[in-house]
Amino acid sequence: MSKQVIVNALISAVTFLVLAGWLLGISMQAEPGGVQLVFAEPSHLHWLWGGMAAVFFGQLFLPNLFGKLRSGVSANKPSFKLPSMDRKGGNLIACFVLAGAIIWPFMVSRGSVDLATLTLIYVMLGLGLNVVVGLAGLLDLGYVGFYAVGAYSYALLAAEGWGFWTCLPIAGAMAALFGFLLGFPVLRLRGDYLAIVTLGFGEIIRLLLNNLTELTGGPNGISGIAKPTLFGLEFNRKLKDGGFDTFHNFFDISYNSQYKVIFLYLMALLLVVLTIIVINRLLRMPIGRAWEALREDEIACRSLGLSPTVVKLSAFTIGAAFAGFAGSFFAARQGFISPESFTFIESAIILAIVVLGGMGSQIGVILAAIMMTVLPELAREFNEYRMLMFGLMMVFMMIWRPQGLLPMSRPHMQLKQEA
Amino acid sequence: MSLLLDVTGLTMRFGGLLAVDNVALRLHEKEVVSVIGPNGAGKTTVFNCLTGFYQPTSGQIVYRGEHLEGMKGHLIARKGIVRTFQHVRLFKDMTVVENLLVAQHRHLDTNFFSGLLNTKRFRKSERSALEFAKYWLDKVGLTEFANRKAGNLAYGQQRRLEIARCMVTRPEILMLDEPAAGLNPRETEDLDRLILELRDQEDVSILLIEHDMKLVMGISDRIYVVNQGCPLADGTPEQVRNNPEVIKAYLGEF
C-alpha cells in the first residue's frame, strides 16, 4: 500500500469530519444568557466517528480492490469488449444496496421513510438533470419548469379520474414536449447565455401556473390529488366512492397509515431504479456518446457528421422527461401542489446535486442527492443557521473536491491480447 | 481517375476583407492535392468553405455532380468529406476508443429502443464498430492507449487519433489542415507514410494544407498555391517548385 493511498484516505476522513461535524458534532442549547454551542450528545458523535472510520478504510482499500478486479478481468479476454452493466462486482454491490433499500422502510420510523421518498425524488431529478448538464454540457437553470409540468399534468389528469400509472408516461411526455420546445430557441446558445434563457423559461412556467387561475388554480394550487394505487387497491382507511377495494381490507389486515408511506417509498424506489437502468443504457448508446462529444467539442461533432441540433434537442427532451416522471410522482405523493413548490431554488438545489456529485457520474449524483436532502433535515435544530452551514459546506466542497464527490469514470474497454 | 471535387470561383468575403478570391480547385479519386501559401493566405478559409463551416460568398463547390455550397457542415460530412483541424479538436475527456465510436455514429444502430433493450442487432452493430475502431487504432499505432483519455495523449498521438477519427467515418475525401504542425521529424515521416497508405490502400483522396515543404513536395500529386486569398499557381510539385512567382511569394530563394 503506497503512502499516497494512506494520505488520500486521511484527507478524505478529515474532509468528512469537517463536513459532517458541522451538522452532527455540535448542537445548540438555549441558556439564560442566550444560545450556546455545545458538543452533541454521544450517540451523534458515535455516528460521526463511525462515518469517519468508514470513509478512511473505504478510501484505503476500495481503490485497491477495484484495481484488482479490473486487472483480473482484462488479462484473458479475447477481443474488444463493450463496457457493460453486468460487471460481476458492481452488480453484486448494486443488488445488496437494492435489497437493503427495499427492507429498510419496514424497520424505521414513518418520518424517515417519508424523507427517503423525498430523497428519491431528488435522485430522479438529479439523474435527469445530469443528462442535460453533466453529459451534454448544457447548463440548464430552469429544470424545475419541467418538474412542474410533470406535476401539474398528473394533478389535472388525476382530477379527470385518470389513474397514476396511465398518467405517469403522459406527464413524462408532456415534460419532454416542453423540453423539446425549450430546445429550439436555445440551439445556438452555450454556457452563460444558455443558463440565462433556461432560467427565464423556468420562471415563465412558474408565472404561468400562478396566473392561469382557471386551469391551475393559481397560487392556491391544486389539492386533493389522487394517491397512486396498487392495482386498484387504495391505501386509505375508507374506500373512496367507486374505488375497487382498500389494501388492508383486501389482504384482511388491520389498517396502518404506515403502509401508504412505505408503498410510496417503494414506488419511488422503483422509478429511481428504472431511471438508473435507462440512463445507464443511454450512456452506452450512440446517443449518449454523442451528448458527451457535444459537451467536449461542438465543432468537431459537426465535422464528423453529427447534427448538433438533434443531439441537443434529444438531451433536453430526455432530461425533461425524467423531470416529468419525478414531478408526477411528487404530485401524487404530496396530494397538493402549488407554484410555490417550483421556485428557482429547486432548480438550484438540483443543479447543486449534479455538481456536488460529480458531473456525469450517476453514483455521485445519488450520493449528493442523499446528502442534500438528509443533511438539512438532520440539522433542523440549528434553524436559520443551517442554510449558512449548507453554504459553507458547498464552498468547502468546491475547494477540496471541485470535480465532485465521485467524478465520472470512463468505461473501460478490454483490449485484444495477442496469443 | 474520375473527378471528385470541382471548386470554381470560390470567394469568401468578411465585411470589407476579401479572404478568398476566386479560387479554383480540382480533386480526383485517389489523389493527394496540397494547398500551400504564406500564413493568412486563406487556406483554412477555403477548407472552412468546403466543409460548410462558412457559407462562401460566391462560387461553386461540386462534389460528384452535387452542389455543396450552402449546405450544413454535418450534412457535408455525411456525404463523405471530413476534415481535421489546425488545432487538434478531440473529445478530450473521452477515451481514445470512445472518440472513434462517436465518429461512427452514422454507421451505428441509433434506434432508441434497440439500444435501450440492448437487442442482438444493437450489440452486433456496437461490436463491429469496436472492431473497426481497433483496425484504425492498429493502423495509427494507438492500440495500447485505447482506454486513455484522448486529452492525455502526446501531441503527435493526438494528431494521429484525429486522422483515425476522420477515417472511421469512412470518408471519400479527407482534408488535413496542417497535420505536421508541431510534429518532430520522425513523426512527420510516419505521417508521410500514413497519408500515402490512406491513398493507396483505403482509396481516399486527400486535400492537404501544410507548411512542411519536404512533406508536401514528397507526397503531393498536385499543388495549389494561394497568396493573399488569390490563386497564384498550380501544377505538379516540380512545376510549382520552379515557378518564379511562387518562389518570390512563398518558398523563398534557395
What is the tens place of the pLDDT at every residue in B24-79?
999 999 999 999 988 888 899 999 999 999 999 999 999 999 999 889 999 999 99
Q: Please give the residue of chain B at the shortest CA–CA distance from A82.
A: B127
User: Among A68-72, B135-139, B195-199, where is mean pLDDT lowest?
Assistant: A68-72
**Closest alpha carbon to B36 in B244, B238, B220, B242:** B220
Q: Is B4 helix (H, G, I), strand (E, B) or coil?
A: strand
Domain around A194: 86-382
List the Cα angle A24/A360/A333 in 5-degree steps. Answer: 60
The continuous run of DSSP H or E covering B231 comes out as strand B230-235
Q: How far is A304 from chain B (nearest CA, A)?
A: 6
Average pLDDT, chain A: 83
Is residue A116 included in any domain, yes or no? Answer: yes
pLDDT computed for residue A71 by the predictor: 46
Q: Do the strands B173-177 and B205-209 form a parallel or antiparallel pair, or are they unpaired?
A: parallel
pLDDT: which is higher, A380 or A267: A267
pLDDT computed for residue A168 by the predictor: 93
pLDDT at A72 over 60: no
Q: What percent of chain B has pLDDT over 90?
A: 69
Substitution target in B47, B147, B162, B163 with the highest count of A β-carbons within 10 Å is B147
pLDDT: which is higher, A414 or B122: B122
Question: Which chain B residues are within 8 Å of A404, Cβ to Cβ?
Answer: none
**CATH code for position B204:** 3.40.50.300
**CATH code for position A246:** 1.10.3470
Q: Is B66 in the A-facing interface, judged by CB distances under 8 Å?
A: no
pLDDT computed for residue A241 by the predictor: 64
Domain around B23: 1-80+171-254
pLDDT at A64 over 70: no
Q: What are φ and ψ of residue A56, in 5° steps?
A: -60, -55
A295-302 average pLDDT score: 92
Q: Is B101 in the A-facing interface, judged by CB distances under 8 Å?
A: yes
Chain centroid, CA A223 distance in Å: 25
Decide which of B116, B147, B169 is a domain's last residue. Answer: B169
Q: How confident is the model at residue A376 (pLDDT cuts 50, 70, 90)?
A: confident
Q: Is B221 helix (H, G, I), strand (E, B) or coil?
A: coil
Please write down the long-range contacts of A213-221, taking CB distance under 8 Å and 24 or more positions apart. A215/A156, A216/A152, A216/A156, A216/A339, A217/A338, A218/A339, A219/A338, A219/A339, A219/A340, A220/A338, A221/A336, A221/A337, A221/A338, A221/A339, A221/A340
Do B72 and B96 belong together in one domain?
Answer: no
pLDDT computed for residue A242 by the predictor: 64
Q: If you search the block for the grid coordinates 460530412, which residue do you land on?
A: B77
Q: Across the interface, do B123 and A292 touch by the CB < 8 Å criterion?
A: no
Question: Which chain B residues are within 8 Å of A79, Cβ to Cβ?
Answer: 131
- Structural domains counted in chain A: 1
A25-43 average pLDDT score: 73
Do B134 and B202 belong together in one domain?
Answer: no
- Structural domains counted in chain B: 2
Q: How far is B49 from chain A (nearest CA, A)?
A: 12
In this structure, chain A runs to a length of 419
Is residue A372 included in any domain, yes or no? Answer: yes
**Closest alpha carbon to A404 in A367, A352, A362, A355:** A355
- Cα separation of A156 and B74, whole Å? 42
pLDDT at A55 over 90: no
Q: Across the interface, do B101 and A411 touch by the CB < 8 Å criterion?
A: no
Q: Is B153 in the A-facing interface, judged by CB distances under 8 Å?
A: no
Instruction: Sort A87 into a burial class: Cβ within 10 Å, 0-12 / 13-18 / 19+.
Output: middle
Q: How far is B95 from chain A (nearest CA, A)?
A: 7
The CA R_g of chain A, rounded to the nearest whole Å, is 23
Q: Is B172 in the A-facing interface, judged by CB distances under 8 Å?
A: no
Q: Across the interface, do A286 and B115 touch by the CB < 8 Å criterion?
A: yes
